[in-house]
Amino acid sequence: MLQYLKNKLRTSLSSNKYKPPQPQGEFSARIIHRHRTFWKSADAEYVRNLPMDANMPLAQWKAEPHWQRTLSNKNNSREFAKMHGCLVPELYWKGRDLEQLDFKIMPEQYVIRPTIGHSCNLVFLMNKGFNLMDKTYYSETQLRAELDKALRKNPYMEFLIEEFVRSESGEYKIPDDYKISMFNGEVALIDVINRVSPKEGLSSCYDENWNMIENISQFYKQAPYQKPPACLEEMITFAKTLSKSYEIYVRIDFYATDKGAVFGEFTPTPAAGAGFTPKAEQVLAGYWDKYCNGSI
């Protein structure tokens, strides 16, 4: 069965038209190399979608080559975070069989997201039938149609329906992303995204002590200085714990909520290596050399 999956994936990959971005510096070159190594191999989807859970020993998580790929599956990343003591959103439903999905038992606020994906694609932040991401109302029938269309395109994908975590002030809104660049337990920087839609928002960057620093990305406009979240210390503590276990460079995303720091996801190849400023290239490559020297 494994060999069949690998052969099927190899055929699929041979026709892939993906063209990686051109490296702008040493850091982006390493991310592009990692992206190619992780996701252009024949076993990529097999490894990413191995079903894992928090009760498995750490050695079992790390059994496959480039095992970190397993954590690019959003459900696996939830389980890994739980295993390390992190708070994660409550899970209401997981699966592919939409006939088993009963929207009527869901609370008025919930989040739908795919186990495979990036850049907020196919993410629905539902508040009483209104999706905050695309500012559109959806009926149950319309939601099912959207999920079904996505599932038909990807045989490995599942959907998660999770708790809609509230802000520190108790609001249901698009949460701010605290994206922490980590190198084997060391914090390089914290990039805060104040998102207004999947592709739009403001960004501001801070060091571990919450001193404002130059933005790392060219994707978002500069945000003004903002106060640190009340759970910053908790967020950093969990980021360091997860990063040590992850071993190599990774960006770890958190949300600041009225329950404290809530884990979001791991991003091993942010933007596939595109869009970093020259200063960011220098800083992040420097951390890589110092704390993850020789790693992919």
User: Are the CB atoms for 215 and 202 separated by under 8 Å?
Assistant: no
Q: Output the DSSP codes for 230-295.
A: TTHHHHHHHHHHHHHHH-S-EEEEEEEETTEEEEEEEESSGGGG-SB-HHHHHHHHHHHHHHSTT-
For residue 177, pLDDT beyond 90: yes
Residue 16: which pLDDT band, with cuts at 50, 70 and 90?
very low
Sole residue written with tokens 């024949």 = 42
pLDDT at residue 19, as a whole number: 61
Structure tokens at 186: 């060391």
Q: Calculate the alpha carbon distances from 159 to 94, 287, 296 in Å.
A: 6, 35, 30
Segment 45-55 shows an average pLDDT of 96
pLDDT in tens, 144-153: 999 999 999 9
Which of 16-20, 197-201, 215-219, 278-282 has the largest mean confidence? Answer: 278-282
Residue 14: which pLDDT band, with cuts at 50, 70 and 90?
very low
**Number of CB atoms found within 10 A of residue 16's CB:** 9
Segment 259-280 shows an average pLDDT of 95
For residue 2, pLDDT beyond 80: no
Residues 6+ apart with CB under 8 A from 123: 111, 112, 113, 114, 117, 133, 198
Structure tokens at 4: 């069949």
pLDDT at residue 3, as a whole number: 45
Across the beta sheet with 109-114, what order do the strands follow? 91-95, 159-163, 109-114, 124-127, 130-131, 136-137
The more confident residue out of 196 and 97 is 97
Segment 19-48 shows an average pLDDT of 90
Segment 100-115 shows an average pLDDT of 97
For residue 180, pLDDT beyond 60: yes
% of the chain surpassing 70 pLDDT? 92
The dihedrals phi and psi of 111, each to the nearest 5 degrees, come to -120, 135
- Percent of the chain that is helix, strand, coil (3-state, to 5): 35, 25, 40
Identify the helix (H) or strand (E) that includes residue 190: strand 186-195
Distance of CA 87 to the CA centre of its chain: 15
* pTM reported for the whole predicted model: 0.91
For residue 225, pLDDT beyond 70: yes
The dihedrals phi and psi of 168, each to the nearest 5 degrees, come to -60, -25
Structure tokens at 80: 């890994």
pLDDT in tens, 184-210: 999 999 999 999 887 889 999 999 999
List 262's β-bridge partners, or say none: 87, 255
Q: Output the DSSP codes for 81-110.
A: HHHTT-B-PPEEEEES-GGG--GGGS-SEE
Residue 23: which pLDDT band, with cuts at 50, 70 and 90?
low
Q: Name which of 97, 164, 95, 80 is nearest 124 in CA terms.
A: 164
Average pLDDT over the chain, rounded to an integer: 92
Segment 103-125 shows an average pLDDT of 92
Residue 219: which pLDDT band, with cuts at 50, 70 and 90?
confident
The dihedrals phi and psi of 108, each to the nearest 5 degrees, come to -70, -25
33 vs 272: CA distance, rounded Å: 9
Residue 174: which pLDDT band, with cuts at 50, 70 and 90?
very high
User: 57-90: b or e for each residue (b if 16 or more CB lie within 10 Å)?
Assistant: eeeebeeeebbbbbbbbbbbbbbbbebbebbbbe
pLDDT at residue 218, as a whole number: 82
